[in-house]
Amino acid sequence: MEGLILRLLALLFLICLPLPASASADKFNADMAKLLQTQGLQGAVWATLDSNAMLVGAAGVKNARTGKKMRPDDRVHVGSVAKTLLAAGVLRLVSQGRLSLETPVSVLLPDVAFENRWADSAPVRLRHLLDHTSGLDDARFFQVFSLAPGPDTPLADGFIGPDSLLRLRSRPGAHSSYSNMGYTLLGRVIESVTGERYESYLEAHLLRPLGMLESSFSFVTQAGPRGDPRLAMATLKTVPRTLPFPRTCVQRASSLAPRPTWENSRAS
């Protein structure tokens, strides 16, 4: 249930709704508070955008035990929304001519050996990873529910296991099938091309130029050496949080303050 709460919280965090001119901020905030109550959620932060302004707000609590109120500048884990920015980082490299959407992944990552019976005519290309048409399975249970991976575990370690981890179920480009492991490979592609960790690259060349100084791809938890007291998770976790092997797909924390500088959206 906590996982569901966090996913919904992350979804609400990134909602951009056109706000009717007649609607007041107070009424909208009250509606959001009611939504939390009816859905059984602890807290949420959000942003609404119309042609004139952006409104940010928060409702509920960041800690159910203490009752501490949620604030718009509290940080939250945004889950798979991280994939959107990871894809933007890949497309930035494409726009610079450092990558091509048509390049076979095996050229970019020679150690990745797909079991692809269509390889002669349909290799897995970079664009297939981006749009979930590679034919790869999604993550297995052992890749998600494991105590082995940590914030510094090489992304390649997520593919150590049965040979079938890289077996394609369909011809690349033929069908859409959501794959966290495809985006794990995209993280590896970024690292291969740039020579640095994907987290560092995306923070330096995407988040910082956009003014998203309170967003991070680095691992953040509530307690321990990577702890952040502003991280809202509804319940306090005093033991270290674990990560899945495909951390590229979920590892991102963000806040609505300061607001992104959209006019500076052309990253350096």
Catalytic residues, by residue number, are: 80
Question: Cα separation of 135 and 115, whole Å?
Answer: 10
217 CB-near residues (< 8 Å, 6+ apart): 82, 85, 198, 199, 202, 203, 207, 251, 252
Nearest to 72 by CA among 118, 13, 23, 139: 13
Among residues 113, 108, 119, 130, the alpha carbon closest in space to that of 176 is found at: 130
For 141, other C-beta atoms within 10 Å of its C-beta total 7
Parallel/antiparallel/unpaired status of strands 68-69 and 43-49: unpaired
* H-state helical runs in the chain: 2-13, 25-39, 82-95, 105-108, 126-130, 141-144, 180-194, 198-202
**CA 63 from centre of chain:** 23
Query: How many angstroms separate the Cα of 110 from the Cα of each of 105, 158, 200?
Result: 8, 16, 23
Is the distance from CB of 181 to CB of 141 less than 8 angstroms? no
Task: Respond yes or no on whether the N-terminal peptide bond of residue 209 is cis (omega within 30° of 0).
Answer: no
**Cβ 182 vs Cβ 132: under 8 Å:** yes
